[in-house]
Amino acid sequence: MLKKIIVSNHQMYRQMSDFVTQYNENHIPTTAFQKLLLSVGSATVSLFDPQRADMIATMGETTGTHALKYMRDKMINNPEGSEILQLQPRINTSTVDLNKLRCMPENTLGYAYFKFLNHNKVTPDSRGSVQFIDDVELAYVMQRYREVHDLFHTVLGMPTNMLGEVTVKWIEAFQTKLPMTLSGGLFGAIRLKPKQREQYVQYYLPWAIQTGLNSNFMLNIYFEKRWEQPMEELHKELNIKPLEIINLK
C-alpha cells in the first residue's frame, strides 16, 4: 500500500513538473501596461484576421484573468475538477493513445474524439503554450481549456467550420466567462455565409444559449478517464441535449 502511495505521488509531481517546466520555458513576464497593449493589438488583429490563432491566444491570456479565476474556483469546488488541478494532465499525442481510441466502441467518448480528429484533420498537438499569464495555476487552467477545446467540439457534436466554431464559442462564453469567447461568438457570426447565418439564428444560437446556461461545467470532466464512457451517458451527466445537424453548407 505504501509503495502504491509513493508511486502515485511520484506520478502526480512528475505530471505537475511537466507543465511547470514548459510554463517556465515559455512564460514572458509583462507589466499591466504591456498586457493592455497586447490585448488591444491582438484583439484588433483577430478582428480582421480570425485565422490568426496566435493573436486569439494572446487576447485570451491578456484579457482573461478574472474569468480564469472563476474557472479555477469552479474546478476547486468540484472533486473531479480539483483532481485535474492537482495532477495537471496534458492532452497531446504523447499522452493520448489515438490508436486505442480508434478501436473503442463507436458509442464511446474515446471513439467519438478519434473520429472528430480524423474527420477534421486536426491534432491535439496544435495547442500553443501559455505565455503571458503570470500565475502558474491560472496558466494551467488556460492550457487545459485550450487542450480540451476539441473535446468540447466532440461532446457538443460541432464541426470545425465557422458555424461550428461560433456555436462552441457561445457555449464556452457562458461556461468560462472568457472575453475572447464572447468576442468570438459575436464577431465570428458576422463572417457566416447567408445560409449558415439563417441556420445560426434559427437553430444554432438558441441551442447554444440554452446549452451554455443549463449545462454543467465541462472543464470539471477528466476526459482522459472517460474514454470508455458512452456519449449518451456523458450528455446526461452534463445536461446537454445534442443539436441534430441537418445541413452545414
**Residue-level pLDDT at 57:** 86
**Residue-level pLDDT at 44:** 82
Q: What is the pLDDT of residues 184-194, one digit of tens each?
A: 898 889 889 99
3-state secondary structure the chain: CHHHHHHHHHHHHHHHHHHHHHHHHHCCCCCHHHHHHHHHHHHHHHHHCCCCHHHHHHHHHHHCHHHHHHHHHHHHCCHHHHHHHHHCCCCCCCCCCHHHHHCCCCCEHHHHHHHHHHHHCCCHHHCCCCCCCCCHHHHHHHHHHHHCHHHHHHHHCCCCCHHHHHHHHHHHHHHHCCHHHHHHHHHHHHHCCHHHHHHHHHHHHHHHHHHHHHCCCHHHCCHHHCCCCEHHHHHHHHCCCCCCCCCCC
Does pLDDT of 160 surpass 50? yes
CB neighbours of residue 17 within 10 Å: 12
27 annotated as ligand-binding: no
**Residue-level pLDDT at 245:** 60
- Average pLDDT on 12-38 reads 81
Provide the mean pLDDT of the chain. Answer: 89
Distance CA 163, CA 115 (A): 19
**Residue-level pLDDT at 18:** 87
Q: Are 187 and 47 in contact (CB under 8 A)?
A: yes
Does pLDDT of 9 surpass 90? no
Q: What is the pLDDT of residues 204-244, one digit of tens each?
A: 999 999 999 999 999 999 999 999 999 999 999 999 999 97
Band (pLDDT 50/70/90 cuts) for residue 128 is confident
User: In the chain, what percentage of residues exceed pLDDT 70?
Assistant: 90
- Average pLDDT on 128-143 reads 95
119 annotated as ligand-binding: no
Band (pLDDT 50/70/90 cuts) for residue 43 is confident
10 annotated as ligand-binding: no
Q: In one letter, which amino acid is 73? A: D
Q: What are phi and psi of 108, to 5 degrees?
A: -95, 160
Q: What is the pLDDT of residues 60-113, one digit of tens each?
A: 889 999 999 999 999 999 999 999 999 999 999 999 999 999 999 999 999 999
Distance CA 132, CA 30 (A): 7
Distance CA 48, CA 27 (A): 27
Could you tell me which residues come within 8 angstroms of residue 83 by beta carbon, excluding any fewer than 6 positions away? Answer: 222
Q: Is the pTM of this model over 0.85?
A: yes
Q: Which residue has the cell 441551442?
A: 207
